[in-house]
Amino acid sequence: MELKIYNQQGVFKTAVSPSDSDRHVKEVMNDNILNLSFTLYEYVELGVNDYVDFEGERFTLLEDYKPEQKSTVEYAYSCKFYGIESELKKAKVLKMVDGDDELSFSYDATAAEHLQLICDNINRIKGTKNWVIGEVVSSANVNIEYDKIFCFDALSEIAKNFNTEWWIEGTTINLSRCEHGTPVSLGYGKGLLRLSRVENDTVPFFTRLYPLGSTRNIVASDYGHRRLQLPGGVRYVERNIHLGIVEQAEEEAFAYIFPKRIGTVTGVRTEEATGEDGNAFTIYYFTDEGLNFDPNTYEIEGLVKQVSFQGGELNGRDFEVNFNSETKEFEIITQFPYENQQLPGGLLIPKPGDEYILWNIRMPKEYYPLAEKEFEEAVQKHIESISIDTSVYKAPTDYIYLDENHIDLKLGRRVLLENEIYFPTGTHESRVTKISRRVNNTTDMDIECTYAVDYGRINQIESNIVDIQAAYKEQLNKDVLTVLKSWDSIDPTEYNVLSAVRTIRTIANSLSKLEKETADKYLRKDIPDTAKELETFLKGIKVIGEALVESLTVEKDSTFKGLLSSEVFTSGFPGGTGWALFWKEVLNAAGVKEKKAVMELDEMTVRGVMRVYEFVISQLMGENGTRLTTDMMRVDHIDAGTKTIYLDTEKGVLYNPFRPGDILMVQRFSVDGIIKQYELQVVTAKVGDTSKGEERLDSITYKNFVGDEGSVVFRDVLTRVDSATNSDRKGVIKQTSVEEGSPYLDVLYGMKTDPDNAVRLRLGRLAGIITYWWGQLQGYGLYSNNAYLLGDFRLRTGEDVRTKFEIMEGMLQSAMQSVVGTMTEEDNFLKNASFQDDMAYWERESDMALFDIGGQLLDLGVNFYSEKNKVADIDSFDGRFMLRIKRSHIRQLNADITKPEDGSVIFLTLKYHCAEEGSLTAGFSGSAPYVEQVIPAGEGFDILEISGVWNGTGDFLLKFTGDLYIEQLTLTNHPLEDYKKEVSTKFEQTAEHILAVAEEVNKIDHTIKTAGWITTADGNKLWATIDRVDVLGNRVTTHESSFHVTAQQINAIVSRVDTIDGTISNAGWITTADGNKLWASKTLEDGGAIVSYINQAADSVTINAKHIKLEGLVTANGNVQFTTDGKIIAKNGEFSGTVVGVSGSFKSLNCVNNSGDIVGGISFGSDGKM
């Protein structure tokens, strides 16, 4: 393994190989440390904030480190890198309330407010808002003293006060029990190499407990005792008394139990008053109609009456009170915790329905027995709670077992420890609270498990007793009904039922029959279909998407909500083409967006009256809001007889810019409103007599004059727009900031010789271009015939596409990379979150307003004119269908949501386009993931992703107060990034070869796939590989296939490399003109090899293998047969070795010597004698 170390700016410093002794240690409510020991052969300085990434976490040095120098070329390092938890040790806790930055202060607040104070202080020194609170226990207010402590220590103090734990996920701080997942069974030989037990010394052993009751609301003269007693005067409780008498006492655990009445506020009023300092404040009074005694008659001498609120905004807060016996009203004595702040006050005030407890008074006698009973029950529960096994169990893990069973142990993971010695029932439920794992093998670890977390006192042991729920199943009396199977021929009756398979088949057969009957009668909605006859729609037709109509005749009114244009349209003059009628959105004087109808075309004739409220007259000139970069010069006068136009040199300053073949154009309006437009082609261009000085006139002769030659007058501006003969003079550059669709820059080429394709490039706003391929373009950008671009390219979806084309001497190379999504509907915990089934499984809200005139609905011929005030439906945007939420919401019921594994982190991701700013609410109220935030309107699409541990309750809600288009909505147990796969292709052509390669990296199935081909003069090669990798990116298996064709041979090879069992297998064939070879081989872990092959030539076939298996009758040249029952039939045979048989027959035998010469024989007569 290799780890890379970077400095705090992200600059690479060095790569190191950890030793086998290096460990990563992580513990609940403690440090997260990566210990690294390594040797470098040149000195590398390691400083504060240098970091290394390991297993998805970043670990940082907290101080400069100097290594041990062993020689001039050897430096030994042994340093500690700390996880993100170390950031908590950099910030002190400042009060940060009302501008008060005290380091020593007390803070009375809920658990969430204390945790938010910690986040605020970390964000304060980091200059960000990245640190946020996550899961937090629900609690009343608790006062905590902070005295110049770091946030790390403060978190432990907060957890201690609220009897819970703190833990961190990324930059989210949680204040709750660190526990998640379903219990995984572990024991000796089952994931653990051994198991040891360490007693929790902070829980004292005892057999006799003296519970000490509270003294609150008790007067000894009335009750007979100074403290609350157990019923019957019991003094102590015992357990395991056979172990002897060991006494302990407990008071704090029962301090909240005393004679009391829980009252309810029924009325609240206020009075304004002025304090001794002259400042005004508010006094709060409340009444309780259920109070049946006068607290003033039950006062205790020397004590002031107090109330503790048990609910509402004042939950957990104590106040002194006065009671008015006549009005039966409590006055709350106002507190002033901070300057300019009072309690009660602001939002923290009493309200009807709030519960409270009155104390520091004697209670009526009927409340004492109730308190004693509550005391007795609390003592029993306390005994049960401290009886929980709080021991710490330590064990090293069997990493092979964990890997094979895919067990991922993390902090807080529930475990079910199995051991007959330690646990009477054989098992003990706990969770992992500490992990120390080897860096080089992360599943080789030492773990510590303990069910309860203690803070040093009996009453602070937190215990979560797992509720056992009994499951009862009703048994159907199977003697009552007969189940008809799919193969039964019995007809259904009132006294039998169909099996599930037969039911499905029956329904399928009926649907298939119905489909055949209706196929020719009805149009299909799920596939492309054709209506053979004329279809009439009485109530109208709605088409979402494109409609291609050969010709269209409209008998009544027509309404177009979008643009109406020719197939191709380019705005602007002089290079514009086509026509368009479209909407333009402007901001009026009231700051409200208003739509203006705009039309652009070449010519228009009005036979009747034309009323114009604003008339802008333009002429073709290179100045003001529209500027042309081209040749221009003004007319002095024209000689129509000689077809000569004399040019004004502006007193000899200017010179004739025109050349033969130039096409010139003039367009303007005269003062009487008559349009002037003419164009011509230059034949000759001359410069006048330079000796005339300021009186010099240049000239051109022309042909192909279009227009009225009599309209040519002094000061007309001749503008070159094209050339008929010179390709270098056909272009014009136009810039405009006043025309429709502006601002933009056009490169025009061939405006007169190729008018339909004159706009070769437009840079800027593209709304004035309509094309056959993309319709009307939107936004700002580049529209061009060609583009040569280098650098990074990002789609509007945020996906990165890198494209590079290189043309060098002898080589053309193209490479493209992209990241594509692999998310499927099955990966999503939300049903129909892609909305392919319309709005199935979703509850929604929509509202439509109909417009009327004089009480009559406004009918536009095809429908009533309406506006959707609230929308939650599928709508078309950017050429795609997606969910639209406009001032509305959607909800999916909890029963329809797939539940993830308990305690697992889930990710909520939205990919959206915001058309109108609004407030977003998404997730599960009361549980993570949940978000409330304002989303501004913007261009393109954005992605919002939040995560958290969902408790499995509640419906999923998505609400937005503006206008939002949602392309993707996912709720999964992986971030969206994991569902993306990296794909790339490469094409390369040189004088020697042509190469094409495609690659895919898939993070979900942990595979790397590559395929390609290469062609050279020698031949062609086609190949494909797939590598399966582990979580560290190391290859586990590799499969490769290749096919190679040359002039001399054709071969194919398939191979597999398995790094787990250390084997390499391959097989293939080779064909040449001499024959064929087929082989298979396997290289073993010990280096040995197994090979088999078949060689086929024109005159021979060779088979070589460790085992050769021939099935069926085998013959050789018609002389030898091997039958299927093992018999050998041959005409002759020669054996150089020993022949051993059980039985057989022969007619005669020859006896030979060592040289093979016959020296005798054995034969048998017909009588069987030898």
In this prediction, residue 237 has a pLDDT band, given cuts at 50, 70 and 90, of confident
Same domain, 43 and 160: no
Phi, psi of 904 (to 5 degrees): -80, 150
The amino acid present at 643, given as its one-letter code, is K
Point out the domain boundary residue: 150, 178, 206: 178
CA distance 326 to 788: 92
What is residue 617's predicted lDDT score, i.e. its pLDDT? Answer: 47
Buried-state track 574-613, b at ≥16 Cβ within 10 A, e below 16: bbbbbbbebeeeeeeeeeeeeeeeeebeeeeeeeeeeeee
pLDDT tens digits along 384-394: 766 666 788 89
pLDDT tens digits along 965-981: 998 898 888 776 666 66
Tell me the mean pLDDT in the region 70-81: 91
pLDDT tens digits along 14-34: 999 998 889 999 999 999 999
What is residue 591's predicted lDDT score, i.e. its pLDDT? Answer: 63
Q: Which of 329-333, 383-387, 937-941, 1051-1055 has the lowest mean pLDDT?
A: 383-387
Point out the domain boundary residue: 316, 341, 362: 362
Same domain, 624 and 772: yes
Tell me the mean pLDDT in the region 97-126: 87
What is residue 851's predicted lDDT score, i.e. its pLDDT? Answer: 44
Domain assignment of residue 69, yes or no: yes
Same domain, 640 and 725: yes
What is residue 809's predicted lDDT score, i.e. its pLDDT? Answer: 44
Same domain, 42 and 151: no
Same domain, 300 and 352: yes
Of the two residues 353 and 621, the one the predictor is more confident about is 353
- Please list the residues that pair with 856 across neighbouring strands: 853
Reported as type and span, the H/E element at residue 666 is strand 662-669
The CATH code of the domain that includes 915 is 2.60.120
Q: β-strands 769-771, 569-570: how paired?
A: antiparallel
Cα–Cα nearest to 579, from 780, 782, 776: 776
In this prediction, residue 852 has a pLDDT band, given cuts at 50, 70 and 90, of very low
pLDDT tens digits along 408-452: 999 999 999 999 888 888 888 889 999 999 999 999 999 999 876
Reported as type and span, the H/E element at residue 635 is strand 632-639
The CATH code of the domain that includes 99 is 3.55.50
pLDDT tens digits along 445-476: 999 998 765 443 333 333 332 222 222 232 33
Same domain, 328 and 269: yes
Of the two residues 683 and 953, the one the predictor is more confident about is 683
CA distance 601 to 520: 47
Same domain, 269 and 127: no
Same domain, 644 and 699: yes
pLDDT tens digits along 361-376: 999 989 999 989 999 9
Tell me the mean pLDDT in the region 489-510: 70
Same domain, 78 and 95: no
Cα separations in angstroms, 401 against 10, 978, 1005:
38, 26, 21
> Would you give the DSSP letter of residue 260?
-
pLDDT higher than threshold 70 for residue 531:
yes
Percent of the chain residues past pLDDT 70, beyond the cut: 82
What is residue 913's predicted lDDT score, i.e. its pLDDT? Answer: 94
> Would you give the DSSP letter of residue 649?
-
pTM greater than 0.75 (yes/no): no
Question: Tokens 């191979």 label which residue?
Answer: 1055
Of the two residues 625 and 841, the one the predictor is more confident about is 841
Domain assignment of residue 926, yes or no: yes
Q: Which structure tokens are listed for 298?
A: 């039950």
In this prediction, residue 1163 has a pLDDT band, given cuts at 50, 70 and 90, of confident
Domain assignment of residue 708, yes or no: yes
Tell me the mean pLDDT in the region 307-336: 92
In this prediction, residue 508 has a pLDDT band, given cuts at 50, 70 and 90, of confident
Domain assignment of residue 1141, yes or no: no
What is residue 623's predicted lDDT score, i.e. its pLDDT? Answer: 45
In this prediction, residue 242 has a pLDDT band, given cuts at 50, 70 and 90, of low
pLDDT tens digits along 143-164: 899 999 999 999 999 999 998 9
Other CB atoms within 10 A of residue 713 CB? 12
What is residue 597's predicted lDDT score, i.e. its pLDDT? Answer: 82
3-state secondary structure of 380: helix
- Please list the residues that pair with 3 across neighbouring strands: 16
What is residue 1137's predicted lDDT score, i.e. its pLDDT? Answer: 76
Count the helices and strands in the chain (H runs, E runs). 6, 80
What is residue 736's predicted lDDT score, i.e. its pLDDT? Answer: 86
Contact criterion met (CB below 8 Å) for 410 and 402: no
Of the two residues 847 and 553, the one the predictor is more confident about is 553
pLDDT higher than threshold 80 for residue 1149:
no
Same domain, 656 and 678: yes
Domain count, the chain: 5
What is residue 614's predicted lDDT score, i.e. its pLDDT? Answer: 55
In this prediction, residue 802 has a pLDDT band, given cuts at 50, 70 and 90, of low
CA distance 281 to 272: 6
Domain assignment of residue 1056, yes or no: no
Domain assignment of residue 317, yes or no: yes
Same domain, 103 and 50: no
Q: Which domain holds residue 7?
A: 3-82
CA distance 620 to 574: 8
Cα–Cα nearest to 623, from 717, 530, 752: 717
Tell me the mean pLDDT in the region 307-335: 92
What is residue 422's predicted lDDT score, i.e. its pLDDT? Answer: 84
What is residue 1084's predicted lDDT score, i.e. its pLDDT? Answer: 67
Of the two residues 69 and 617, the one the predictor is more confident about is 69
Contact criterion met (CB below 8 Å) for 800 and 794: yes
Contact criterion met (CB below 8 Å) for 227 and 235: no
Domain assignment of residue 114, yes or no: yes
pLDDT tens digits along 1093-1139: 788 888 888 888 777 887 878 787 777 887 887 788 887 777 777 77
What is residue 305's predicted lDDT score, i.e. its pLDDT? Answer: 93
In this prediction, residue 528 has a pLDDT band, given cuts at 50, 70 and 90, of confident
Tell me the mean pLDDT in the region 995-999: 83
CA distance 784 to 791: 18
Same domain, 105 and 73: no
CA distance 1041 to 1039: 7
What is residue 619's predicted lDDT score, i.e. its pLDDT? Answer: 47
pLDDT higher than threshold 70 for residue 520:
no
pLDDT higher than threshold 50 for residue 684:
yes
Tell me the mean pLDDT in the region 605-618: 63
Tell me the mean pLDDT in the region 159-173: 90
Point out the domain boundary residue: 157, 178, 199: 178
Q: For all residues of the chain together, what is the average pLDDT?
A: 81
Domain assignment of residue 1120, yes or no: no
